Amino acid sequence: MSNISKPLIKWYLINKRELPWRKTTDPYRIWLSEIMLQQTQVAQGLPYYLKFLEVFPSVNDLANANEEQVLKLWQGLGYYSRARNLHSTAKYVAHELNGVFPNNYSELKKLKGVGDYTASAIASICYQEPKAVLDGNVFRVLSRLYGIDVPINSTEGQKLFSKLAQELLDKNQPDTNNQAIMEFGARHCTPKKPMCDSCIFNTRCLALKESKVAQLPVKLKKTKIKKRYFNYIVPISNNETSVLKKRPAKGIWASLYEFPLIEASGKITYDELLAEVVKEELFATAYDLSLYNESPIIHKLSHQHIHAQFWIATTNEKLNDAIPLSEIENYPVPVLIANFIKEFSL
């Protein structure tokens, strides 16, 4: 099999971005960056990474934080289970491992929220263990370069690409090799409009030779998107208070806060909503209800689309479990709620 690691590493050393986690082998910082950048673009994740390090400079600092503080700092990154796993693992490393991360792939993989990819990245970057990483960028580069049309999210595909990546890895510099192929996929062999004309592999890329670049990599069809209809009741009293409810510990936005919610099977009328509010006994006070946004806000998650409408409930009476409007922004909330709070100027 032809060697691709040398030209990849050469390209990387010339073209790599200067990123803070590339200037360290501290496993805490590498772990933090890898968890944050899962399903997140570097441009979006970088400010969060820097803020987390500012607030939690060590794994012990993160371990000693409360969950709401962690979720609030994570707000906007999505996939909140990553934040909860991050916090759980920090507590485990700090309290059970005396603040020292495991120093090999096998032990790293036992940590909560750390899968094959993250364990491989930390092991290779921090400890020079020759474990090849396999993320979306690596799948794309290898599938195109070798013309592989086996679905990357199938069991067969996972095994095939894992074996291939390991065979191609430069065992003497696995850290640089892993970062090189990921950077190449992120910046050159991109999902759309890859720069094939100037590609270092354009004379040997089978996808380019067979005009299949746009068709690779192959993925099995995703789960059908589910539509959900959320009606948020936003209580506002004349003494400038409101109400937030904590979501369940499972499901979307687990343990985040939101306004009282009425979920319906479709778009709901004023009278239908009023009946639900009475039925759910959301208020023990007299109130005036008005619709804030006539057109639903469509918030897209990986397997479901939320169609959200906000209803303002004003009252002259005291609210139960009231929160001062001045403190609303201190609570960790989904982006959908955060955007409303900002727009409505609560």
The residues that are catalytic are: 34
* 226-237 vs 304-315, strand pairing mode: parallel
The DSSP code for 325 is G
Q: Is 87 helix (H, G, I), strand (E, B) or coil?
A: helix
Question: Residue 252 in contact with residue 301, Cβ under 8 Å?
Answer: yes
Helix (H) or strand (E) holding 71: helix 67-74
Question: Residue 162 in contact with residue 138, Cβ under 8 Å?
Answer: no
The DSSP code for 58 is S
Residues 6+ positions from 188 with CB-CB distance below 8 Å: 11, 15, 194, 195, 199
Computed from CA positions of residues 326, 332, 334, 335, in that sequence, does the dihedral angle turn out positive or negative? positive
Cα-based distances in Å from 231 to 195, 225, 270, 297, 335 = 45, 19, 11, 11, 16
The label of the residue with tokens 């509010």 reads 277
Residues 6+ positions from 46 with CB-CB distance below 8 Å: 19, 20
Question: Residue 59 in contact with residue 28, Cβ under 8 Å?
Answer: yes
* Cis peptide upstream of residue 248 (ω within 30 degrees of 0): no
DSSP characters for 167-194? HHS-TTSHHHHHHHHHHHHHHTS-SSS-
Q: How many CA atoms lie within 13 A of 36 on its CB side?
A: 25
Q: Is 288 helix (H, G, I), strand (E, B) or coil?
A: strand
